[in-house]
Amino acid sequence: MIELQALTKRYGERVAVDRLSFRAERGEVVVLLGTSGCGKTTTLKMVNRLIEPSDGLVRIDGVDVRTLPGHELRRHVGYVFQGVGLFPHMTVFENISVTPTLLGWSAERIRRRVDELLDLVELDPAVLRDRWPNELSGGQQQRVGVARALAAEPKVMLLDEPFGALDPLTREQLQQSFARIRTQLGVTAIFVTHDLVEALFLGDRIVVMRDGCLVQVGTPRELMVNPVDEFVERMFGTPKRQAQLLNDLLGSGEHS
Amino acid sequence: MSEQLALLPAYLTGHVQLTLVALLLGTVISVPLGIVATRVRWLEQVVLGAAGIIQTIPSLALLAMMVPVLAAIQVQSIGYLPAIIGLTLYSTLPILRNTVIGIAGIDPAYTEAAKGVGMTRGQQLWSIELPLAMPVIVGGLRTSTVWVVGMATLSTPVGAMSLGNYIFSGLQTRNYTAVMVGSVAAALLAQLLDGLVRVLEEGVRFRRRGLVAVAVGVLSVLYLFAGVTLARQFIGDDESERIVIGSKTYTEQYILSEIISGQVTAETGLSATVMQSLGSTVAFDALRSGDLDVYVDYSGTIWATILRREANTENRGQILDEVERALATDYGVHVVGALGFDNTYALAMRSADVAALRLRRISDLVPHASRLVLGGDLEFFGRPEWVSLRARYGLSFDRELTMDPSLMYQAVAQGDVDVITAFSTDGRIAALGLTVLEDDRNVIPPYDAVILVSDRLVRDRPRVVAALEGLVGAIDVDLMRAMNLTVDEDGRTPRSVAEEFLAGRSATDARGR
Ligand SMILES: Nc1ncnc2c1ncn2[C@@H]1O[C@H](COP(=O)(O)OP(=O)(O)O)[C@@H](O)[C@H]1O
Ligand SMILES: [Mg+2]
């Protein structure tokens, strides 16, 4: 369980994240949704203290994250970076085994775990285990990124627009893989995206952000049906409008 | 050629020792310093600024400056130590700069990812930052390697044996075989070391065990070799047992130092080493500090450049006595005696010009000087004698060119310059058809060649001083000129000429008995 209480980040005068509070229950994926620059990455990084909050509190399974040294905390929180962030001088195997190695796992256990994870993210261990990151496609790299975040059996996962840089078809494949993995493992996660369809597909609940503030929290259905304001209504109306547009286009094509 | 190649083991060993130790020290200092500099903002500016300044100092000057600095803090001031310190300082900039650039240039996404997977600061540095910066850092190391191998040839004038001994003595004695052997050997060594570093880096980066093994193997052998030979030099034979003889950078000095070395060994059974091609004041300072035991200098040189006095008609006769007294009381340096010849600075010209202009004395030259070009050796125009010559005769030449003494004689003979500041013992004056002008106002002091010894030698090694006394009065000006000419024109080595001289003397001794 991840719990944010009045989490705030100020850069001088500017407030990047403003008294944000929400929680992700055990086994729940909460999507942080908002336009670029609204404070999603900052929020996520405060959870594992890559950024220290100006104010407020984060608890993971009831424990205040400030009670652990930063690096200890991060070894138990899987993080998938916006962009890729695989280490270019390490093979796929080495990238995935970084955190287990830091935790002092035995070589045998690490070897088994890496193969298991590669299977989980649908990559063939025999073929890809010893490849270098630059020998992988964008989709394969992002799958390895997910495997690396899961490697040390983290309590919770943080994903920052993990599929944002991929082409639509590959993105869809990865979304489906992630949906399967999260049910299979019962992952507790905060998943950041600016893509509404991705949010609707992957989120148990969605937190809508604007200018560092929380606008509305709810299940996809609640947000569709009961938007609190025009901003949310317009945002969630987008797919409907697009479907309408598509329909019109196809319809007019039939008549001509 | 074979005579030159026989010197290669000693010179190459010296060169390898200097280069490897300086590079190791340079790396050990620069990489951590570079890392710290990327963490502490103000330090980056300070460190890079300091290294940059060191780099702008001409390399020979940097090495030479180490001598008085070390002498001031009372440690060994000539030989290995000043060379190593100078070379190490010189090697730091490329490594330091590339360490800073390499680490600062890493995409912050990787350092953040390293933090994100749970690494501590130290783990981030070791596992991510250094490996990612390594190609850049190694680039700096390779630059340093090539620089240091080249610059190590300049260690010779501060008394450290290196491939520079070939180059310095070869240029002076016009032995271009020696120059070539030294240069080629230095170039090959630079290629070898640079290649090894490159192979090592590629081996590490691309995980090629074989490459790493080869590079590490060869480097270990080289370092082991340098370490063992150095240890033998410093511990193996007792430093105090060895007599160290200095020579400046010209033919006569090379011959005299070999004669002294042979004489000491023959008479006392002690081992002697020659430190070749020392800078002029380096040798004197080293004698004072006791890093050197013996060398030959000239009364006029000491009079003018060390005692800073002017010569005139009245005091000429007393210069040698006065030098002896002043050195003993003020500098702790002792004069054993004069060798028996005077090697004075003299203005020399082509004999044909002398005849055409009807010159005999320097005074006769004055009205013609404004149309003539004067060539002087490396130090002449900075010496007090030049100031006196100009002032007392009112001499003013069209141009004054500084040139290497070995090239000066050829230059005047070929007409590239009209007048040179020749040494009166140089055999090439006669051989190339030059004539010396008389110093009719007695401006230039006499330059009696004298054997100088350190205080330490007088105190602890009277036998050596006694052996040196055997050389007093033993070499007249004709003999010195003939020996110089044999080396300069016939291509003989100073050592073989010295051996011939000593053999001739012992034959005479045997007959005399
Ligand atoms: N180090 C920083 N200093 C000042 N402002 C920052 C800093 N990091 C982020 N910001 C600002 O905070 C806001 C939120 O950034 P971010 O969390 O990256 O947005 P998102 O991930 O939603 O696109 C942006 O306006 C950004 O310019
Ligand atoms: Mg972001």
Q: Render A51-100 in DSSP notation, one character per residue.
A: S--SEEEEEETTEEGGGS-HHHHHHTEEEE-SS----TTS-HHHHHTHHH
* Tokens found for residue B205: 């980066």
- Helices of type H across B79-175: 80-104, 108-116, 121-123, 130-151, 164-172
Q: Is the dihedral of CA B168, B170, B171, B172 positive or negative?
A: positive
Closest CA to B389 of B409, B424, B408, B361: B361
Q: Which of A146, A195, A153 shows the shortest CA–CA distance to A174?
A: A146
What pLDDT score does B258 carry?
A: 95
Q: Does A50 touch chain B (CB under 8 A)?
A: yes
Decide if B294 is inside a domain. yes
Facing residue for A81 by CB, picked from B116, B118, B127: B116
Ligand nearest to the CA of A164: 2
Bridge partners (DSSP) of residue B399 are B373
Q: Residue B108: nearest ligand to its CA? A: 1
Confidence (pLDDT) at B314: 67
- Residue B408 and residue B327 in one domain: no
The pLDDT confidence band at residue B313, using thresholds 50, 70 and 90, is low
Are the C-beta atoms of residues B169 and B162 closer than 8 Å to each other?
Answer: no
Q: Determine whether the interchain pair B110/A50 forms a contact, defined as Cβ–Cβ distance below 8 Å.
A: no
Report chain B residues whose CB lies below 8 A from the CB of A103: 118
What integer pLDDT is reported at residue A256 of this predicted model?
47
Domain boundary among B183, B203, B236: B236
* pTM (2 d.p.): 0.82
Fold adopted by A2-255: Rossmann fold (3.40.50)
| Residue of A41, A51, A71, A77 to mutate when probing chain B, most B C-beta within 10 A | A71
Residues of chain A positioned with their CB less than 8 A from the CB of B119: 71, 98, 102
Phi, psi dihedral angles at A6 (to 5 degrees): 50, 40
User: A195 C-alpha to center of ligand 1: Å?
Assistant: 18
Residue from A18, A41, A193 to probe ligand 1 pocket by mutation (most atoms less than 8 Å from CB): A41
Q: Does the residue B441 lie in any domain?
A: no
Tokens of B291: 């890093």
**Mean pLDDT comparison of B27-36, B277-286, B432-441, highest-scoring range:** B27-36
The reply to whether residue A89 touches residue B115, judged by beta carbons under 8 angstroms, is: no
The residue whose CA has the least distance to atom 17 of ligand 1 is A39
Does B338 map to a domain?
yes
Q: Where are the domains of chain A?
A: 2-255
pLDDT single digits (tens) A118-164: 999 999 999 999 999 999 999 999 999 999 999 999 989 999 999 98
Residues B182 and B216 in one domain: yes
Are B484 and B376 in a shared domain? Answer: no
Q: In what order do the strands lie in the sheet with A29-33?
A: A77-80, A156-160, A189-193, A29-33, A205-210, A213-218
Q: How far is the CA of B352 from the centre of ligand 1 (A)?
A: 88
Q: Cα–Cα distance between B81 and A145 in angstroms, integer?
A: 53
The answer to whether residues B349 and B325 belong to one domain is no
Q: Is any Cβ of chain B less than 8 angstroms from the Cβ of A134?
A: no
User: Which atom of ligand 1 is nearest the CA belonging to A35?
Assistant: 22
The ligand 1 site (C-beta within 6 Å) comprises A 11, 14, 16, 34, 36-42
Question: Is residue B105 domain-shared with residue B121, that is, in the same domain?
Answer: yes
Q: Determine the distance separating the centroid of ligand 2 and the alpha carbon of A60, expressed in angstroms.
A: 22
Nearest CA to ligand 1 atom 3: A11
Q: Which residue has the higher pLDDT, A251 or B229?
A: B229
| Closest C-alpha to B95, from B58, B140, B138, B133 | B140
Does residue B397 sit in the same domain as residue B356?
A: yes
A50–B116 CB contact, under 8 Å? yes
Q: Roughly what angle, to the nearest 10 degrees, separates helices B209-231 and B176-205? A: 130
Ligand 1 center to A23 CA (angstroms): 22
pLDDT computed for residue A253 by the predictor: 55
pLDDT of residue B511: 60
Measure B160 CA to nearest chain A CA, in Å. 43
Contact predicate A206/A199, CB 8 Å: yes
Which one-letter amino acid corresponds to residue B65?
A: M
Mean pLDDT of chain A: 93
- B81 and B111: one domain? yes
Element (H, E) at A235: helix A230-255
- Contact across the interface for B118 and A81, Cβ inside 8 Å: no
* Span between the terminal Cα atoms of chain A, in Å: 56
Q: Percent of chain B beyond pLDDT 70?
A: 96
Same domain, yes or no, for B285 and B389? no
The amino acid that residue A247 corresponds to is N
Backbone angles phi and psi of B426, in degrees to 5? -75, 125
Q: Which amino acid is at B226?
A: A
CA atoms B421, B395, B435, B471: torsion sign: negative
The more confidently predicted of residues B304 and B268 is B268
- Amino acid in position B318: Q
The CA-atom distances, in angstroms, between B341 and each of A175, B323, B385, B485, B488 are: 98, 16, 20, 16, 19
Q: Does A57 touch chain B (CB under 8 A)?
A: no
Do residues B31 and B149 both lie within one domain? Answer: yes
Confidence tier at B249 by pLDDT (50, 70, 90): confident
- Tally of structural domains, chain B: 3
Tell me which residue in A71, A76, A87 faces B113 most closely, judged by beta carbons.
A87
Q: How far is B132 from chain A (nearest CA, A)?
A: 7
- Most confident listed range (A170-184, A233-247, B156-170): A170-184
Q: Domain boundary at B376, B406, B436, which?
A: B436
Taking the C-alpha atoms of residue B16 and residue B511, their distance in angstroms, rounded to an integer, is 47
Residue environment code for B311-332, b if the CB has 16+ CB neighbours within 10 A, otherwise e: beeeeeeebbebbbebbeeebe
Domain-ending residue, one of B201, B236, B271: B236
User: Do B69 and B214 lie in a common domain?
Assistant: yes
Residue B127 with chain A: CB contacts under 8 Å:
98
The residue in chain B having the minimum alpha-carbon distance to the alpha carbon of residue A88 is: B132
A71 interface with B at CB cutoff 8 Å: yes
pLDDT, position B310: 76
Q: Give me the domain span that covers residue B162.
A: 2-236
Q: Are residues B21 and B51 in the same domain?
A: yes
Tell me, in angstroms, the distance from the centre of ligand 2 to residue A41's CA. 4
B362 and B298 together in one domain: no
Of the candidates A70, A85, A102, the beta carbon closest to that of B110 is on A85
Q: What is the CATH number of the domain that holds B366?
A: 3.40.190.120
For the cut 70, the answer to whether the pLDDT of residue A195 exceeds it is: yes
